[in-house]
Amino acid sequence: MTRRLGPATTKPPAAGAGSSTKSEVSVRDEMQAIFGQMFDSVFSESVTSFAGEYPGPGVFDPVTETTTSQPVRYSGRGVFHNYEANRIDGINILVGDIQLIALINEVSDQPAVGHELSTTDVVPILGGPLAGYRIVRVGGDPAGVHHDLQLRKA
């Protein structure tokens, strides 16, 4: 037996019920604001500014092994930390890999595998600036609030 459904009807919301004169803030925007405040307060000692770099568009000459591309640079800030020992499997996550959590709205470009990251400030877990690390995995959260980057010494 099949049941037939009637046409969908929608009623406008009653006055004052669910209507808003202010523009609605998305969940992502609200979460980014909250995490940004946490970066400025709770995590302020762990947050480090970073710079990313990758080759821009250009032409590669295989004979001279040179390119006309210029580096594209971007910046952001995030929290660097070591992976927990039980997550290091020797295949996907190696000893020495570092995880970087960075808010999407605070990174000026889209990080991708192969980009090189560096810092001028001390990264607390390293005891010095980050240099010579490349992105080997890019992840994030379903709401699109943060980048979850796996970094490996190049």
Evaluate whether residue 132 is within a structural domain: yes
Of residues 105 and 45, more confidence is placed in 105
CATH code, 130: 2.40.10
Share of the chain above pLDDT 90, in %: 59
27 part of a folded domain: no
pLDDT of residue 22 exceeding 60: no
The total number of structural domains that make up the chain: 1
Q: In which element (H, E) is residue 49 found? A: strand 47-55
With contact defined as beta carbons under 8 Å apart, do 134 and 112 qualify? Answer: no
Question: Residue 131: is its pLDDT beyond 80?
Answer: yes
The residue behind tokens 């810092």 is 119
What are the pLDDT digits (tens) for 2-11?
444 444 444 4
What is the domain extent for residue 73? 49-153
Which stretch of 28-42, 83-97, 101-115, 116-130 has the lowest confidence by average pLDDT?
28-42
Is-contact 37 47, C-beta < 8 A?
no
- 22 lies in some domain: no
Q: What is the pLDDT of residue 97?
A: 97
* 32 located within any domain: no
Distances (CA, A) of 35 to 80, 102, 113, 138, 141: 15, 10, 24, 19, 13
Residue 2 domain-assigned (yes or no):
no
In contact, 143 and 31? CB cutoff 8 Å: yes
Residue 116: pLDDT over 90: yes
In a domain, 136, yes or no: yes
Question: CB–CB of 148/101 below 8 Å?
Answer: yes
pLDDT confidence band for 26 (50 / 70 / 90): confident
**Does residue 12 form part of some domain?**
no
Query: From CA 118, how far away is CA 74, in angstroms rounded?
Result: 11
pLDDT at 12 over 50: no
